[in-house]
Structure 1
Amino acid sequence: MKFSTNELLPLVSRLDQLLRTAEIGDYPGAFNGLQIENQGVVSRIVAAVDACEAVILQAAREPGTLLLVHHGLFWSGAQPIKGILYRKLKAALDGDLALYSSHLPLDLHPSLGNNVLLAKSLGLTGLKPSLELKGQSVGVMGKIKPMKREKFEALLCKSVGGRVHLAPGGPETIASVLVVTGGAGGEVARAADLKVDAFVTGEGPHWSFTAAEELGLNLFYGGHYATEVFGVKALARWLSEGTGLPWSFLDHPSGL
């Protein structure tokens, strides 16, 4: 679908509609949507996982940039504009940078979301929403051609572009998988209740490793950052196809 404008606010409305920003709940204090407005016109689209200072400084080098991120600036309600937050806001405003953030709405999107895209990269089929949180399913569950645990680990390494960590608590052959990107390791008990062979997430608390062993579940930690590059890239590509504007991805991995 082609859009007839490169003005910021109409594009934000398109993003909000696509992601159902007003409808999907998130963590208390998390703010989804337009976080910083620019002077009104978008000249290029940049995607990144985190709205960290390094990313903002790089994105703001070219005026009129729309920066799409998964982890935005605001998570805990009203904050004083000082210190690091001041520096980030000043860099964005000085550089005519607009910032749009989408957390759970992007994770959950049925075609552009982190969960579904990671699941598809692993070859999962029969995908269905799963693992309810705040009245909505925050993960996807699917089937895969039965394979040894080590082969699935290698497949996940390829998908996330790096090493993964495994708590080998479940069966040696994997045929069913739950995917919840990001930091969902603390949901290991509820994942085990779903009777899947493997649970793929980004990271989790220390105790989640031994819990997976005790619950009889293979828990794969693919990296919080690495499991969440999929959605922002897909969202930027979607917006680029609609506007004809160029897009790029700023990679600033945490290694976590």
Structure 2
Amino acid sequence: MANLSEIVAFLDEELKTSSIKDYAGAVNGLQLENAGSVERVVAAVDASLPVIEAAAQGGPGLLIVHHGMFWQGVQPICGAVYRKLKSAMNAGLAIYSSHLPLDLHPELGNNVLLAKAIGLSNLAPFMEAKGVAMGMMGEWSGTREELVERVSQSVNGPVHLCPGGNDVIRSVGVVTGGAGSEVAQAKGVDAFVTGEGPHWSYPLAEELEMNVLYAGHYATETFGVKALAAKISELYGVPWTFCDHPTGL
């Protein structure tokens, strides 16, 4: 059994939670506390009702998610919102959320872990916005089709390809999640790997003569929460599991 406050202090410091700006609805950090003990850690991408109800089975613990409970802003505590809170509180389940801080982490982040899973080498920061590198880029040698296959294996799912650039790939940029809308900023690489994008990002990528691989918002963001839960397990001696609830998007 571990102490919740000690784990939260570690997470806040490791992820630089207070210093990384994020969307208002992210509310990074501890979103729901419990009585103070953690017997297990559950990792998940979304703090959705099915995930929280599943994670609540098993006693006091900590649910670590990438997308927290407050993306829709302030809401009445009714319906699904009430059920989420009630399920978690009845079980003694604390909830910690980390969005951009987890995306950007140099060792435990979604971007770096997906880049390594693909097999990119000589990694470097990629796509800076407001002084922060939103992703990672690296070297890769092969054809476009080979890259699609490698990315598909890495995310364990289908990849939608916009074949707008050259067939030979030497450099790849990675920004997980919904970064397809930033395709115009993905300069200097032969291929751009992200989770999803709006319809217009595909024709724009063609016009920019860029290869874009849409590998799924959910699928590209399972890496960080798993790594974070495994780290907590290693440091504090509590078991961890992954609650897989894919959206297909």
TM superposition score normalised by structure 1: 0.95
**Alpha-carbon distance, 1:77 to partner:** 4.2
1:215 maps to amino acid: L
Distance (whole Å) between structure 2 residues aligned to residue 27 and residue 150 of structure 1: 35
1:66 maps to which residue?
A: 62
Picking from 210, 213, 218, the partner of 1:217 is: 210
Q: How does 1:99-118 map to 2 (within 5 A)?
A: 99-118=95-114
Aligned-partner Cα distance in 1 for 2:57–2:142: 47
User: Which is worse superposed, 82-91 or 150-159?
Assistant: 82-91
Alignment correspondent of 1:197: 190
Quick one: distance in 2 between partners of 1:134 and 1:183? 18
CA contact (8 A) 1:117 1:230 kept: yes
Partner of residue 56 from structure 1, selected from 52, 58, 61: 52
**Counterpart for residue 172 of structure 1:** 167
Residue matched to 1:249: 242
Equivalenced residues, count: 249
Give the structure 2 partner of residue 36 of structure 1. 32
SS at match of 1:143: strand
Find the aligned partners of 1:34 and 1:86 in 2 and give their Cα distance. 18
Residue equivalent to 2:91: 95
Deviation string, structure 1 residues 211-238 (Cα, Å, up to 9, x no partner)? 1111010000000010000000000000
Q: Name the amino acid aligned to 1:213.
A: E
Q: Any idea what SS the aligned residue of 2:136 has?
A: strand
Gaps of 5+ in 2: none
Superposed displacement of residue 76, structure 1: 4.8
Which digits, 9 at most, give the CA deviation of each residue in 1:131-161, with x for residues without a partner?
A: 12343111111111x2111111111110010
Contact 1:202 1:223 in 2 (8 A): yes
Structure 1, unmatched stretches of 5+, are: none
Distance in structure 2 (CA, Å) of the matches to 1:133 and 1:240: 33
> Does the aligned pair in 1 maintain the 2:155–2:219 contact within 8 Å?
yes
Give, in whole Å, the separation in 2 of the partners of 1:28 and 1:98.
21
User: 2 CA distance for matches of 1:17 and 1:79?
Assistant: 29
The answer as to 2:199 corresponding to 1:239 is no
Asked whether the equivalents of residues 30 and 77 of structure 1 are also in contact (C-alpha less than 8 Å), the reply is no
Query: Secondary structure of 2:27's match?
Result: coil
Name 1:18's counterpart in structure 2: 14
Deviation, structure 1 residue 30: 2.0
Shift of 1:45: 0.5
8 Å contact from structure 1 (residues 28, 76) kept in 2: no
Q: What is the deviation of 1:10? A: 1.3
